[in-house]
Amino acid sequence: MQVNRTLIIAEIGVNHNGDYETAKRMIEVAKECGADIVKFQTFNVDAMVSKHAKMAQYQKQNIGEEKSQKEMLSELALTYKQFEELADYCKRVEIGFLSTPFDIESIKFLNSIQQLWKVPSGEITNYPYLVEIAKTRKKVILSTGMSTLEEVGNALEVLSQNGASDIVLLHCTTDYPTSMGDVNLNAMLTLQNRFGRSVGYSDHTRGIEVSVAAVAMGATVIEKHFTLNRDMLGPDHKASIEPDELKALISAIRNVERAKGSFEKSPTATEEQNREVARKSIVAAKKIKRGELFTFENLTTKRPGNGISPMEWKMLIGQKASRDFEEDELIET
């Protein structure tokens, strides 16, 4: 049986804290855990954010101090050259490389080193950005955090009209970490039904159970932030899982994939072997003489199930016994 394999994206994001060696180590860890792809974030700080932009509340809480977004992001940025080297390193260790661009300059840079795009929730209303992504005609994974259905539809229209055809929609709640009450995982199915696209889930909750549930519900892509240590300083560490959790997540997803199976309902080969042991047959409840009528009093059902099925009960009642039967003996006609 063919198992539909979920694409598992281990998001490093900026959890390398701007350190190239940490980024390399995180690639190695993701590979060891079984992820399909590692994902970074690529941005030109000057092109991405103005000097007036403030940090989000969760960023202030996770960092423990307040500064401008520009200051914070400048400390977390890697260079284009470093991303080229990280993409090469991913090839060497045999794991997919992906980075989310946050400005058009970064789109143009990344286009030469990756084969698909991950559009973040914050860019879903950025028309020129979406057009630039679509023009490459590569597969697009689109996060929909903070969005209405109308905004998702508008983004899909822009992408489709400008060259993108293979688009996966990720349900997402843009809060780090996301509380269970704000997940609304059923909205993933709403996206699938409304737009007729493959769907997935970008998970910002603590723990792994919501991602596993999403796969059971039909997610084809799972994206999950991970970190080497949740106690590290930085905006996203608190909403990330550590390596042992990432490994457990991937193992659970692969198990759920196998367990989902097909839509056919039929006994498995193992069940075929167990049916005789677990099911019952019609047997004599006590001694029965030849010619005696079968009744509710002299018949019963007991294991094993290698005789006449109890589903034939009504047909047997009132018939004459063809021979003598001892107690517990399988009834024959």
Per-residue confidence in pLDDT tens, the chain, 333 aa: 446 899 999 999 999 999 999 999 999 999 999 999 999 999 988 888 887 777 677 666 666 567 677 777 878 899 999 999 999 999 999 999 999 999 999 999 999 999 999 999 999 999 999 999 999 999 999 999 999 999 999 999 999 999 999 999 999 999 989 999 999 999 999 999 999 999 999 999 999 999 999 999 999 999 999 999 999 988 889 899 999 999 999 999 999 999 999 899 999 999 999 999 999 999 999 999 999 999 999 999 999 999 999 999 999 999 999 999 999 999 999
As a CATH number, domain 7-260 is 3.20.20.70
Confidence (pTM):
0.88
pLDDT value at residue 54: 76
Q: Are 162 and 119 in contact (CB under 8 A)?
A: no
Residues 62, 66, 70, 76: is their CA dihedral positive or negative? negative
Write the DSSP symbol of residue 1.
-
**Contacts for 105 with CB less than 8 Å, ≥ 6 apart:** 44, 47
Q: How far apart are CA 128 and CA 124, in angstroms?
A: 11
Contact 222, 7 (CB under 8 A): yes
Query: Inter-axis angle of helices 243-260 and 209-216, to 10 degrees?
Result: 20
> Cα torsion at 187, 188, 194, 198 (round to 10°)?
180
CA–CA dist 127, 172 (Å, integer): 20
What fold characterizes domain 269-316? Type Iii Antifreeze Protein Isoform Hplc 12 (3.90.1210)
Domain ranges (residues) in the chain:
7-260, 269-316
Scored b (16 or more CB within 10 A) or e, 182-217 reads ebebebbeebbeeeebbbbbbbbbbebebbbbbbeb
